[in-house]
Amino acid sequence: MKVPRKIVDVIRGHSLFLVTSHIRPDGDAVGSLLALDHILKKMGKRSVIQIDGQVPPNFKFLPGSENIRSYGDLPFLPEVALILDSPSAPRLGRVKRHLPEIHLLVNIDHHVSNQGFAGINWVNEKSSSVGEMLFHLLNPLGLKLTRPLALCLYVALLTDMGKFQFMVTPAGGVRVLHLAAELVETGLVPYEIYKKVYNIYSPVQIKLLAEVLGTIRFAADKQISYLTLSRDILKRYGGAEDTNDDLIAYPRDIVSTRVAMLFTEKEGSVKVSFRSKEPDLIDVNLIASGFGGGGHPAAAGADIPGDLKTVRQRVLGAVEKKLDQLKDK
């Protein structure tokens, strides 16, 4: 993967950095934040990591996770903001408020829906993750791969590839697995990492899962399957919200499913997570973009204003329309 010369020059030519990513950070966001901070500190730079939110508990084992700050005042005025895994500035939440004061914004991302909002945008839609992109920074910056850095990058790969499920082309799969092998060669133990990232369910979370599975419904001759996580359920299982992103795996893995969705009811809006088992035919990024969201062909999301019933009907209609269009071809 070729790294734009501008990115290398910016990192070499500046000393003070803000490193940030999107709200509700996932494994790619957290792993990439920590990896890039590790790189900057190896080069003698001063950096601060800040996000709007908290580090999910299952990523707190990553080296340096204690250095990720929740939104607040910055300890210094950065020269550069390095914005990771965020296709648009609003995805940064309150951290966006710092950006007008910072001289240069650099966006490093792999979402096809990226809006190119920064002064410098390095967007590689074919990359598995931002973690994969950051790995290729090491050579042009003259740095060696260390075990702590490899651990952060491995978690970025593992999570954004859905436990290495989302390798939809042979060439992409070979590339990602070769990179994972190189990271593991630093002394990582994949099974131990897997347990820390995924074996995290509390009894409360399992009860929430049991209740949400009871909401499963089907449409379009069971080509569409979806779950609903209402505010009422969330209220009753208050500490289990971190489990939400894993719930969509259940409707997705049903044999007849082509598109799976999870509707999460919020105050005044509904968060919709989409998954496509045939991203070449059914690009859920395009569907999510029609509702102001985005992501990848195989996995996308949108936060849609409105009540649960209305939003669900609109989204189901859009997905059914797409499936009908495929019938006519």
Reported as a single tens digit per residue, the pLDDT across 202-224 is 888 888 889 999 999 999 999 99
Distance in angstroms (rounded) separating the CA atoms of residues 282 and 321: 11
Residue 306's pLDDT is 96
- For residue 169, the model assigns a pLDDT of 67
Where does 5-197 sit in CATH, by number? 3.90.1640.10
Listed by start position, the domains of the chain span: 5-197, 203-327
Neighbouring-strand partners of residue 17: 47, 80
Q: What is the pLDDT of residue 203?
A: 85
Q: What is the mean pLDDT of the chain?
A: 93
- In CATH terms, 203-327 corresponds, of 3.40.190.10, 2.60.40.420, 3.10.310.30, 3.40.50.2000, to 3.10.310.30
Q: Are 98 and 37 in contact (CB under 8 A)?
A: no
Q: Kindly report the number of other CB atoms within 10 A of residue 105's CB atom.
A: 18
Cα(144)–Cα(138) distance, rounded to whole angstroms?
A: 6
Three-state secondary-structure class, residue 243: helix
Q: What is the pLDDT of residues 55-64, one digit of tens each?
A: 999 999 999 9
- At residue 141, the 3 state secondary structure works out as helix
- Structure confidence at residue 84 (pLDDT): 98
Strand runs (DSSP E) across 85-188, as ranges?
104-109, 120-123
Residue 80: strand pairing partners: 17, 104
* Dihedral sign, Cα of residue 258, residue 164, residue 55, residue 17: negative
Could you tell me if 123 and 7 are in contact, meaning their C-beta atoms sit under 8 angstroms apart? Answer: no
Dist. CA 263–CA 247, nearest whole Å: 10
Rounded to whole angstroms, how far apart are CA atoms 79 and 96?
15
Q: In the prediction, which pLDDT does 99 show?
A: 97
Give Cα separations from 126 to 1, 17, 34 (angstroms): 10, 27, 22
Structure tokens at 246: 């894993």
Q: Which two tokens stand for residue 166?
A: 């989302």
Regions of the chain where pLDDT drops below 70: 167-169, 239-245, 328-329
- 261 SS3 class: strand
